[in-house]
């Protein structure tokens, strides 16, 4: 296949990025000017640090050659001779598995100066991350790859124009690239028949929390979260009921039990004011307090903030201290109003990357769906969960 034909096949498939943003993969590939002079790079985001998400780890541990093949196809399609895999530093076993897979592919002649006899040198190298959540953001990842402090870059220019070492760079997630070989084998049109019209194909969901069968499940887009949580993952423990779930990792706005019939496609989740994100489905049953869970997540985002943006650096910490007052029975309407103002200040492009939005969405979505629980803590100085358990 000619490189342009490969890109067109991926476009036809309708494949969207599986890392969180959900951007059309084939269109992203087409942004790289293949015939432009100078080096071009493929960078793989394997820095899977989103709480509740482990699908990329599952792929790397169980089918690393699928990732290698996807990388090689993408590199040939966009005119890159060098690929980098930026892998989470704590992923010892996936790192070992991928290292072995690359060496096996090299020994077979799939990687090297003349892969499969073709005069098109290709190489893949691994770079271990530094244990920071911010490195999962694509431009902060590129900064770290270049040996700099991991902080997001202002955009534009986008990585397709000026990415790694100032050169055009294609940056894709592990699952995205692992899907490419199947698309090339079955054809883009056949792949597009799976899922929904606007969210074609399948994706991996990591289901964790209060379910009987936690694990990684592959589902077609368009299935309901009721099917995912109740049927595939077995539902909550006996005698308990789903209270809240995160449909796309900890950074996705939460949905209450009443919205279990929302489907997994991006359009349905956007209509529900949430997102597909990284595919981490976190389930909490009715033995847990939403306010305490939100506080714990804000502690995480405050700790992981790189500090470059004032709204994120100040706002996340401010939210944590406000939650501390509420949970210490020192809250009032002032604290509830403060949380909403902080949430508004973190969202809608006020920060350089999505980390600020993530904290804002936690506050905003839990306040919206569980207002009474917040008021119990802030105004009545009692925990809703305690009342529920007492009446059980």
290-391 shares the fold of 3-192 = no
| Cβ neighbour number for residue 107 with a 10 Å cutoff | 10
pLDDT of residue 199: 93
Is beta strand 280-285 parallel, antiparallel or unpaired with respect to 202-209? parallel
Please work out, in degrees rounded to the nearest 5, the angle formed at the alpha carbon of residue 204 by the alpha carbons of 199 and 207. Answer: 120
Location of structure tokens 């432009």: 36
Q: Is the link from the previous residue into 157 a cis peptide, with omega within 30 of 0?
A: yes
pLDDT of the chain, 392 residues: tens digit per residue = 999 999 999 999 999 999 877 899 999 999 999 888 999 999 999 999 999 999 999 999 999 999 999 999 999 999 999 999 999 999 999 999 999 999 999 999 999 999 988 899 999 999 999 889 999 999 999 999 999 999 999 989 999 999 999 999 999 999 999 999 999 999 999 999 999 999 999 999 999 999 999 999 999 999 999 999 999 999 999 999 999 999 999 999 999 999 999 999 999 999 999 999 999 999 999 999 999 999 999 999 999 999 999 999 999 999 999 999 999 999 999 999 999 999 999 998 889 998 999 999 999 999 999 999 999 999 999 997 856 555 55
Kindly state the tokens that stand for 385: 């969960």
Compute the distance between CA of residue 265 and CA of residue 329 in angstroms, rounded to an integer.
Answer: 40
SS (H, E, C) the chain: CCHHHHHHHHHHHCCECCCCCCCEHHHHHHCCCCCCCCCCEEEEEECCCCCCCCHHHHHHHHCHHHHHHHHHHHHHHHCCCEEEEEECCCCHHHHHHHHHHHHHHHHCCCCECCHHHCCCCEEEEEEECCCCHHHHCHHHHHHHHCCCCCCCCCCCCCCCCCCHHHCCEEEEEHHHHHHHHHHHHHCHHHHHCCECCCCECEEEEEEEECCCCCEEEEEECCCEHHHHHHHHCCCCCCCCCEEEEEECECCCCCEEHHHCCCECCHHHHHHCCCCCCCCEEEEEECCCCHHHHHHHHHHHHHHHCCCCCHHHHHHHHHHHHHHHHHHCCCCCHHHHHHHHHHHHHHCCCCCCCHHHHHHHHHHHHHHHHCHHHHHHHHCCCCCHHHHHHHHC
In this structure, what are the phi and psi dihedrals at residue 253, rounded to the nearest 5 degrees?
A: -55, 140
CA 138, 303, 312, 363: dihedral to nearest 10 degrees?
100
Could you tell me the maximum CA-CA distance found in the chain, to the nearest angstrom? 73
- Would you give the distance in Å from CA 44 to the centre of its chain? 13
- The pLDDT value given to residue 34: 87
pLDDT confidence of residue 388? 55
**Could you tell me which of 44, 57, 18 has the C-alpha nearest to residue 126?**
44
The owner of tokens 């994120």 is 312
In CATH, which of 3.40.50.740, 2.40.30.10, 1.10.3720.10, 3.40.50.11540 is domain 3-192? 3.40.50.11540
The CATH label, of 3.90.1300.10, 3.40.50.800, 3.10.20.600, 3.20.20.70, for the domain at 202-285 is 3.10.20.600
pLDDT given for residue 386 in this prediction? 57
pTM, full prediction: 0.94
Nearest Cα to Cα of residue 169 among 88, 102, 86, 82: 82
CATH of 290-391, one of 3.40.462.10, 3.20.20.70, 1.20.1440.230, 1.20.1600.10: 1.20.1440.230
CB 370 within 8 A of CB 336: no
pLDDT of residue 35: 85
Domain boundaries, the chain: 3-192, 202-285, 290-391
Are 6 and 76 in contact by the 8 Å Cβ rule? The answer is yes
The residues that bridge with 122 in the sheet, in sequence order, are 112
């Amino acid at each position: 296949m000619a490189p342009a034909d490969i890109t067109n096949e991926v476009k036809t498939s309708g494949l969207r990025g599986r890392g969180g943003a959900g951007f059309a993969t084939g269109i992203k590939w087409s942004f790289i000017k293949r015939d432009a002079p100078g080096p071009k790079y493929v960078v793989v985001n394997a820095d899977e640090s989103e709480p509740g998400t482990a699908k990329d780890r599952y792929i790397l541990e169980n089918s690393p050659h699928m990732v290698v093949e996807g990388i090689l196809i993408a590199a040939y399609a966009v005119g890159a001779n060098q690929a980098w895999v930026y892998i989470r530093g704590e992923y010892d076993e996936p790192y070992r598995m991928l290292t072995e897979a690359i060496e096996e592919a090299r020994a077979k002649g799939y990687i090297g100066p003349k892969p499969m006899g073709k005069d098109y040198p290709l190489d893949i190298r691994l770079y271990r991350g530094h244990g920071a959540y911010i490195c999962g953001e694509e431009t902060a990842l590129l900064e770290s790859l270049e040996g700099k402090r991991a902080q997001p870059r202002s955009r534009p220019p986008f990585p397709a124009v000026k990415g790694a070492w100032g050169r055009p760079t294609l940056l894709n997630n592990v699952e995205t690239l692992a899907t490419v070989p199947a698309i090339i084998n079955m054809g883009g049109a056949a792949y597009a028949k799976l899922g929904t019209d606007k969210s074609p194909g399948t994706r991996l969901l990591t289901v964790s929390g209060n379910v009987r069968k936690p694990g990684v499940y592959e589902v077609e887009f368009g299935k309901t979260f009721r099917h995912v949580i109740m049927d595939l993952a077995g539902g909550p423990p006996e005698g308990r009921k789903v209270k809240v779930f995160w449909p796309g990792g900890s950074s996705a706005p939460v949905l209450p039990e009443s919205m279990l019939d929302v489907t997994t496609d991006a359009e349905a989740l956007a209509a529900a004011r949430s997102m597909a994100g990284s595919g981490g489905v976190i389930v909490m049953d009715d033995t847990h307090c939403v306010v305490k869970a939100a506080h714990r997540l804000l502690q995480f985002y405050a700790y992981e903030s790189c500090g470059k943006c004032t709204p994120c650096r100040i706002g996340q910490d401010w939210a944590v201290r406000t939650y501390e007052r509420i949970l210490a029975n020192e809250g009032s309407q002032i604290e509830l109003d403060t949380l909403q103002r902080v949430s508004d200040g973190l969202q809608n492009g006020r920060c350089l990357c999505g980390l600020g939005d993530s904290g804002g969405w936690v506050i905003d979505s839990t306040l919206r769906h569980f207002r009474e629980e917040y008021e119990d803590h802030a105004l009545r100085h009692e925990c809703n969960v305690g009342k529920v358990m007492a009446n059980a």
